Amino acid sequence: MFKKVEAWIVYLLFVVFLIITILFGALVRSYYLGGDFLKPLQPAAIFISDIPANFLKLFDVSNINESFIERSENLQIENESDLVLNGIDLNLVNNLKNGFILISGYNSKYDQPSIFLFDINKNLIIHEWYFDRGIIEDYNFKFQHPIMFENGELIFNAGEGSLIKVDACSNIIWKNDKHFHHSIEIADKNLISVPHIYESNAYLEKYLTGLPEFRDDGFAFVDIVNGDIVSEFSIIKILFENGYGDLATLGISSGKDPIHLNDAEPILISDEYVKKGDIMLSSRHLNFVALYRPSSNKVIFLKQGLFSAQHDLDYQGNGIFTFFGNDNTRYSERINKYSSIYKYDMKSDTVSSYQNLDKQQISLSSQGLHTIFEDKLFIDTGSAVYVLDENKKVYLKLEINLSEEKVGSLHWSRYYEDISFLEINLNSLDC
């Protein structure tokens, strides 16, 4: 009934099938990583790869891609109640009824990190950027400090690795595979400023011989549209060129991560104390905050103190800077029991306490972001988010509820008083 097939034909078909499978996998992987491998064929490969999921949708068997809005729309949260949502305990206190939090967190449903926008007034997540494949290169990938643009696009980094831009439906627009980390801040309408590893330390031959191996932290200005690095700076080089050679040498001799830059935030408006384009710097391992002027390659000020392991230097205007101090040594030996927000006044050249966090019992060895508004204070500890009122009473607290082995908990969130800058309705998207 059936004709006998030569063995060599079977072997040949198997080899051909194997080659096609490998090429197909490479096409799909390249598409989701933003690569150019056989780019004209990538859309066809993605269409084919989606056939099983689309088929299951016809029978309502799979809900893996259902709208996060639909999953959340029936959630009702009362004052003083707790809700576990995506691995996060949500505690609403004092009936705060305005604002939005862009959270880089963890989606326990899919066992992966995700980014979502939480509407405090509606008490629900109104949009999620969910990456179910391709973009997560390994289990330790985290979406750190996402920033949202008017069209719903996001830029975020991997914590230690790639810088990525996606659209409102989580499709990759570009991916820069240089080594970026920590904060992402707007520099102007076309640029962001991001800490990254400076790759060439040939400049050090002028200052040192027998160079040890170390991580040369710096920051880069990155084009928002295409992800290209426009310019970049080394913190060690800045220190040597501004009379802080002893500090730079101390850092290099103390370990492979001498600077540990966690913030490189631009000044956006000039006044009598600062100029637009100045960069606020925070070095965790050298315990300093500084203001650097790239236009003249000058350090305007550099301050060290008991605010060790500090993060997130912000400008409040009128010569006042605030930053999140953790008050402990590099080896987590506490100087003060709790963390504090400090204030530096350029007019008097003094550092003082702006807000201690003992009542909130916030005690960090590292981490810490803050944003000061006219009537509230936003704090991200890396494991919880707080919103305090003008009397520093807790309005809202979001606390991570994850076992220690989970990766993708809070990785630096943003608080928006409103999202009127958005030019699209996130609720109307059909992603």
Q: How many CA atoms lie within 13 A of 364 on its CB side?
A: 26
Query: Over the stretch 374-421, which tens digit does the pLDDT of each residue have?
Result: 888 888 887 778 888 777 777 677 665 443 444 446 778 899 988 999
Domains of the chain, each with CATH number or no CATH: 1-62 (no CATH), 68-428 (2.120.10.80)
* The token pair that represents 257 in the structure block: 């991560």
Considering only residues 240 and 71, tell me which one the structure prediction assigns the higher pLDDT.
Answer: 240
Residue 328 Cα to chain centre, angstroms? 24
Considering only residues 51 and 251, tell me which one the structure prediction assigns the higher pLDDT.
Answer: 251
Residue 67 has pLDDT above 70, yes or no: no
* The token pair that represents 87 in the structure block: 């691995």
Give the per-residue pLDDT at 166.
Answer: 92
d(Cα 168, Cα 152) in Å, to the nearest integer?
Answer: 5
For 200-224, what is the mean pLDDT?
A: 85
User: Any idea what DSSP says for residue 44?
Assistant: H
Q: How confident is the model at residue 89 (pLDDT cuts 50, 70, 90)?
A: very low
Report the share of the chain in percent with pLDDT over 70: 74
d(Cα 35, Cα 28) in Å, to the nearest integer?
Answer: 10
Please give the helix or strand (H or E) that residue 339 lies within, else none.
Answer: none
* The token pair that represents 8 in the structure block: 């060599």
Residue among 375, 379, 367 at smallest CA distance from 414: 379
* The token pair that represents 214 in the structure block: 């170390």
Give the per-residue pLDDT at 8.
Answer: 77
For 229-256, what is the mean pLDDT?
A: 92
d(Cα 9, Cα 168) in Å, to the nearest integer?
Answer: 48
d(Cα 223, Cα 187) in Å, to the nearest integer?
Answer: 10
- Work out the widest C-alpha separation in the chain, in whole angstroms: 98
d(Cα 425, Cα 418) in Å, to the nearest integer?
Answer: 13
Range from 86-90, 125-129, 219-223 that averages highest in pLDDT: 219-223
Give the per-residue pLDDT at 408.
Answer: 41
Residue 371 has pLDDT above 70, yes or no: yes
